[in-house]
């Protein structure tokens, strides 16, 4: 452990007992071909299965494997953040544990990095073995996001990427609680490029992003980079005022100059229900933002670490944030 690692690979894991060993083996095989010092940092995001035990065993055998163990589940994006906080490499690579992002792409990323790029993201040219629903929602989401925000987030990229030490240090200054890391990295700027790859199907187990988590993730992405949903209220309001005013004129005209006064409360009820619905939706949107402001205001730490393993002796548990 005397030699400083040049590359740091960060792997967030949550209930991955079926894949973790295979994932370790394939990553190691790829990193060994590069012939430069590296470290692999597994971040256990409060798994409830044997994941932590298996990583502990790997750590006993192999001292290049480092381990950050969370006190509970804090979420994928936060696990990645913690991994980055503790790494020391000149280039940091983030990769999923389930082998959907093939480790064999890493050498290509490193090549680009050596050419002078600071961020090399993996671009999913094709996605294998994912449901139509997942692929469809992902496609819609990434396109919607581009339209809603001013930040140039590259289409169809995940968190599988390489970032330079400079970028990693800059990222440490970003303290927001509801994080959309790929967006933040784009926001940081620097010299960016992509390498294309085919996203494989999961090696084993099932996705740790059920629909509910995906939705929350999408809201985090949009709210961290755009106020547009909030403007919805003003636009809808303005449009409605214009319509109502015109309609008011019509009603007054009918009252004064014709004898066609209209009965019918059904139409009133329908209109009322419709607009109550809209108002509730808009209140909900405002609520999403306020909830996130509340999270920021509390200023709690992003994550709590239970133990760390195989880091150099001067690293402490509170070296994160
Ligand atoms: N993950 C995590 N915490 C969570 C959910 C997921 O650390 O709360 C990890 C998971 O173990 C995997 C990566 O994040 O390494 C991506 O998750 P997954 O493959 O389930 O997402 P998908 O590829 O289906 O979008
Ligand atoms: Mg996956």
Calculate the CA dihedral of residues 189, 190, 191, 194 and round it to 10 degrees. -50
Confidence of residue 239 (pLDDT cuts 50, 70, 90): confident
The minimum-distance atom of ligand 1 relative to the CA of 100 is 23
Does 73 sit in the ligand 1 pocket, CB within 6 Å? yes
Residue 29, pLDDT > 70, answer yes
Does 79 sit in the ligand 1 pocket, CB within 6 Å? yes
Question: Which residue has the least CA distance to atom 9 on ligand 1?
Answer: 13
pLDDT at 225: 85
Question: pLDDT tens-digit profile of 157-186?
Answer: 889 999 999 999 999 999 888 888 988 998
> Model-level pTM?
0.82
Residue 87, pLDDT > 50, answer yes
Does 97 sit in the ligand 1 pocket, CB within 6 Å? yes
Best mutation site among 10, 11, 12 for ligand 1, i.e. most ligand atoms within 8 A of its Cβ? 12
Does 99 sit in the ligand 1 pocket, CB within 6 Å? no
Question: Which residue has the least CA distance to atom 8 on ligand 1?
Answer: 75
Q: Cβ atoms within 10 A of the Cβ of 32, count?
A: 10
**Residue given tokens 């939705």 in the structure block:** 215
Question: Which residue has the least CA distance to atom 23 on ligand 1?
Answer: 207
**34 CA to middle of ligand 1, Å?**
26
Q: Which CATH superfamily is domain 7-226+301-309 in?
A: Spore Coat Polysaccharide Biosynthesis Protein SpsA; Chain A (3.90.550.10)
Residue 127, pLDDT > 80, answer no
Which tokens hold the place of 137? 């929602």
pLDDT at 1: 45
Does 199 sit in the ligand 1 pocket, CB within 6 Å? no
Are 303 and 75 within 8 A, CB to CB? no
Best mutation site among 96, 101, 302 for ligand 1, i.e. most ligand atoms within 8 A of its Cβ? 96
127: nearest Cα among 119, 138, 116:
138
pLDDT at 55: 94
Instruction: Please provide the average confidence, as pLDDT, over all residues in the chain.
Output: 87
Greater pLDDT, 148 or 307: 307
**279 CA to middle of ligand 1, Å?**
35
Does 13 sit in the ligand 1 pocket, CB within 6 Å? yes
Give me the sign of the Cα torsion angle 145, 233, 278, 284. Answer: positive
**13 CA to middle of ligand 1, Å?**
7
**302 CA to middle of ligand 1, Å?**
18
pLDDT at 3: 67
pLDDT at 24: 94
The minimum-distance atom of ligand 1 relative to the CA of 80 is 7
The minimum-distance atom of ligand 1 relative to the CA of 16 is 11
pLDDT at 313: 76
Which tokens hold the place of 31? 């990193």
> 145-151 — which CB contacts under 8 Å span 24+ positions?
145/183, 145/221, 145/222, 145/225, 148/222, 148/225, 148/226, 148/228, 148/229, 149/183, 149/222, 149/225, 149/226, 149/228, 150/225, 150/226, 151/183, 151/186, 151/187, 151/225
Residue 119, pLDDT > 60, answer yes
Which tokens hold the place of 313? 């002796």
Q: Quick one: average pLDDT of 226-240?
A: 83
Confidence of residue 305 (pLDDT cuts 50, 70, 90): very high
62: nearest Cα among 102, 94, 21, 99:
21
**203 CA to middle of ligand 1, Å?**
13
**137 CA to middle of ligand 2, Å?**
15
Does 14 sit in the ligand 1 pocket, CB within 6 Å? yes
Does 45 sit in the ligand 1 pocket, CB within 6 Å? yes
CA dist 125 and 123 (Å) reads 6
């Amino acid at each position: 452990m005397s030699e400083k690692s040049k590359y740091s690979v960060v792997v967030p894991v949550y209930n991955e007992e079926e894949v973790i060993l295979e994932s370790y083996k394939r990553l190691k095989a790829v990193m060994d071909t590069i012939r430069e010092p590296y470290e692999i940092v597994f971040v256990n995001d409060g798994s409830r299965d044997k994941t932590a035990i298996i990583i502990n065993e790997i750590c006993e055998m192999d001292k290049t494997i480092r381990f950050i163990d969370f006190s509970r589940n804090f979420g994928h994006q936060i696990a990645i953040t913690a991994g980055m906080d503790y790494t020391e490499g000149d280039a940091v690579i983030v990769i999923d544990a389930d082998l959907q992002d093939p480790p064999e792409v890493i050498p290509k990323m490193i090549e680009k990095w050596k050419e002078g790029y600071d961020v090399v993201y993996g671009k999913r040219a094709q996605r294998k073995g994912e449901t139509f629903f997942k692929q469809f929602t992902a496609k819609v989401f990434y396109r919607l996001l581009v339209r809603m925000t001013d930040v140039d987030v590259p289409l169809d990229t995940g968190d599988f990427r390489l970032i330079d030490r400079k970028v990693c240090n800059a990222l440490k200054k970003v303290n927001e609680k509801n994080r959309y890391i790929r967006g933040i990295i784009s926001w940081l700027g620097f010299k960016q490029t992509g390498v294309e790859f085919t996203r494989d199907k999961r090696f084993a187990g099932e996705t740790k992003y059920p629909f509910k988590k995906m939705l929350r993730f999408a809201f985090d992405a949009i709210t961290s980079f755009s106020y547009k949903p909030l403007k919805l209220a003003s636009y809808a309001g303005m449009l409605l005022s214009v319509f109502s005013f015109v309609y008011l004129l019509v009603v007054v005209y009918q009252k004064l100059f014709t004898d066609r006064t209209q009965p019918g409360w059904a139409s009133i009820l329908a209109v009322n229900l419709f607009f109550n619905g809209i108002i509730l939706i808009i209140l909900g949107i405002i609520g999403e933002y306020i909830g996130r402001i509340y999270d920021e205001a509390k200023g709690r730490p992003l994550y709590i670490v239970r133990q760390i393993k195989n880091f150099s002796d001067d690293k402490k548990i509170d070296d994160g944030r």
